[in-house]
A and B are shown apart, each in its own frame.
Chain A
């Protein structure tokens, strides 16, 4: 178990009297890739800026390596940031941008040359030293921003939707590259994104946020398989979310039918949210299933077909490698351990 490098304790932030962070607490472990995930406006950037020192919280404290740094200005923190829109210095070329932090810290010219050279190699920008930053593509600007932060060898790197402006292919490449860098340099990454797929593929730990609250913290597998509530389940991946009734332990009622499940401890006759992943549903012959519905649409998605099956009270999303006949009636089945039961959201 490694130590905590950053700890947020009961952080509250408000803008113009509007609460943006509601007393959130979060421990970030050393050398970990942590992702803050949530819809736009949920407070991810605000959380990141609080760690960076750009926002002083109304209450609560920020600890770094065990020391309280709540009132320390950004330039005294051993943390660097890759900003949402890169924020490169327009009056400086690529080399000067990357060297900026080292010059401020009065490193020798030789050391600066060496370190910036190393960084340019790491981010694949050798030969671009003299280039003005406005003559770089989005992907290249992105890599300058990363190099400019990493060259200072911070203990923690904060990244605010760093790949948001890139096209899909480049984004996928950069995801792999960033993850590789993080592992090689053994730096803690705190990464902000609203893209659940990005969060799941890159992170050691995912922090799901909504409306200034942290809903769940866990490994990507945990978050995916054991979402704490319907919001997390929905946000993490397209899902079937139904209102259900927990009849008793190991028995749940959905759409008026009773199903065996593996969950206990919710009480008897308690309203719950039920989540069933589209890929966990098997289509069968109508008479072999409790639930049946009409195939509304079939869309080919490359690896699988995405189908919508309409039962009398729900449109089921189903992923399968076999396509059903549109308009036909099919049965819907799932295994007990694929039924995820969660408390109703407040």
Chain B
């Protein structure tokens, strides 16, 4: 009976998850004519620098999101419950705006003749080159993905039992000790899913890097897009790059989870 009920979902998963994955893998190891080859995968290595840049920028953006979101959520969890949802909504508000529009807005803000440089100009400073830099790409990532860090963190931290915090105080911990020994370890699941939710879309983004990074800060996402829609049309290479990216993300996430398991013990 149970089996019967789950059939549509299994079917769904097969059609929309398993089959596409197999197709990506298939394209990655074949030529345009359908012959088996490792050439595509081998060719990926020549883009190593782009992979490194993508991981590097996505990692920085993720860390910045975490550093901004964690204290924000800690404060949020302490204020009046009725007020919490209002603040959360304000945090989410930019998400309701179209992704492209949001990123465009930053272009006009950061440009050499943009609003920020205009303000600097009033004080006789600048203009500073802000657009088409790695910093602008990271800024775009943080701005777009910050809510994905805040939400899972909030969900976990707001559920930490207040009496457990009382217990830590009772057993001799001051506020800092309570944070390190109790709140931080208990929030690890939220930190982990926040990191995943920010890092994964950040590492594979192409709009942000295209619009804010200029031509010199290509990311993997741009590379893949070029293979499918761009002038260097080569779906087989695109599939190979995607496959390698997936494996890299999987490895990083596994590594991170490993680290998180150890962390608990170190902290205690």
Residues of A within 8 A of B (CB): 52-54, 73-75, 79-81, 83-85, 87-92, 96, 100-101, 103-105, 148-149, 152
Q: Decide yes or no whether B33 CB sits under 8 A from chain A.
A: no
Q: Mark B48-84, 1 if CB is under 8 A from A, else 0.
A: 0000000000000000000000000000000000000
Residues of B within 8 A of A (CB): 161, 163-164, 166-174, 177, 181-182, 185-186, 264, 268
A152/B166 contact (C-beta < 8 A), A90-B186, A91-B186, A104-B177 known: no
Enumerate the 5 nearest inter-chain pairs by beta-carbon distance, A residue then B residue, closest first.
A101-B171, A87-B163, A104-B172, A87-B167, A74-B169
Residue among B172, B174, B177, B182 making CB contact with A89, cutoff 8 Å: B182
Give Cα A79–Cα B174 distance, bound, in whole angstroms.
15
Instruction: Contact check, B169 vs A87: say whether CB atoms are below 8 A apart.
Output: no
Residue among B168, B170, B174, B185 making CB contact with A52, cutoff 8 Å: B170
Residues of A with C-beta under 8 A to B170: 52, 74-75, 79-81, 83, 149
Instruction: Contact check, A87 vs B173: say whether CB atoms are below 8 A apart.
Output: no
- CB closest chain-B residue, reference A74: B169
Q: Can you name 11 A-B pairs with beta carbons within 8 Å?
A: A73-B174, A74-B169, A75-B171, A81-B166, A81-B167, A87-B167, A88-B167, A89-B182, A90-B186, A148-B171, A152-B172
CB A64 to nearest CB in B, in angstroms, measures 15
CB A17 to nearest CB in B, in angstroms, measures 16
Residues of B with C-beta under 8 A to A149: 170-171
Give Cα A299–Cα B27 distance, bound, in whole angstroms.
83
CB B260 to nearest CB in A, in angstroms, measures 11
Instruction: Contact check, A101 vs B172: say whether CB atoms are below 8 A apart.
Output: yes
A105/B186 contact (C-beta < 8 A), A87-B166, A89-B164, A91-B264 known: no
Instruction: Contact check, A54 vs B166: say whether CB atoms are below 8 A apart.
Output: yes
- CB closest chain-A residue, reference B178: A75
Give Cα A113–Cα B132 distance, bound, in whole angstroms.
59
Residue among A75, A81, A100 making CB contact with B174, cutoff 8 Å: A75
Instruction: Contact check, A96 vs B268: say whether CB atoms are below 8 A apart.
Output: yes
Give Cα A85–Cα B167 distance, bound, in whole angstroms.
11
**What number of A-B contacts does a CB cutoff of 8 Å give?**
66
Residues of A with C-beta under 8 A to B186: 90-91
- CB closest chain-A residue, reference B165: A87
CB B189 to nearest CB in A, in angstroms, measures 10
- CB closest chain-A residue, reference B185: A91
Residues of A with C-beta under 8 A to B268: 91-92, 96, 103
Give Cα A80–Cα B170 distance, bound, in whole angstroms.
6
A83/B174 contact (C-beta < 8 A), A89-B182, A92-B268 known: no
CB A142 to nearest CB in B, in angstroms, measures 14
Give Cα A101–Cα B186 distance, bound, in whole angstroms.
18
Residues of A with C-beta under 8 A to B182: 89, 91
Give Cα A83–Cα B170 distance, bound, in whole angstroms.
10
Residue among B163, B164, B166, B173 making CB contact with A104, cutoff 8 Å: B173
Give Cα A75–Cα B171 distance, bound, in whole angstroms.
6
Give Cα A185–Cα B268 distance, bound, in whole angstroms.
28
Residues of B with C-beta under 8 A to A79: 170
Residue among A74, A75, A85, A91 making CB contact with B163, cutoff 8 Å: A85
Instruction: Contact check, A54 vs B171: say whether CB atoms are below 8 A apart.
Output: no
Counting chain A CB atoms within 10 Å of each CB, which of B161, B166, B172, B268 scores highest? B172
Give Cα A144–Cα B234 distance, bound, in whole angstroms.
63
Residues of B with C-beta under 8 A to A96: 268
Residue among A73, A89, A103 making CB contact with B167, cutoff 8 Å: A89
Residues of A with C-beta under 8 A to B174: 73, 75
Instruction: Contact check, A104 vs B171: say whether CB atoms are below 8 A apart.
Output: yes
Residues of A with C-beta under 8 A to B181: 100, 104
Give Cα A88–Cα B186 distance, bound, in whole angstroms.
12
A83/B167 contact (C-beta < 8 A), A89-B182, A96-B268, A104-B181 known: yes
Instruction: Contact check, B166 vs A74: say whether CB atoms are below 8 A apart.
Output: yes
- CB closest chain-A residue, reference B186: A91
CB B191 to nearest CB in A, in angstroms, measures 13
Residues of B with C-beta under 8 A to A148: 167, 171
Give Cα A346–Cα B264 distance, bound, in whole angstroms.
57
Residues of B with C-beta under 8 A to A92: 268
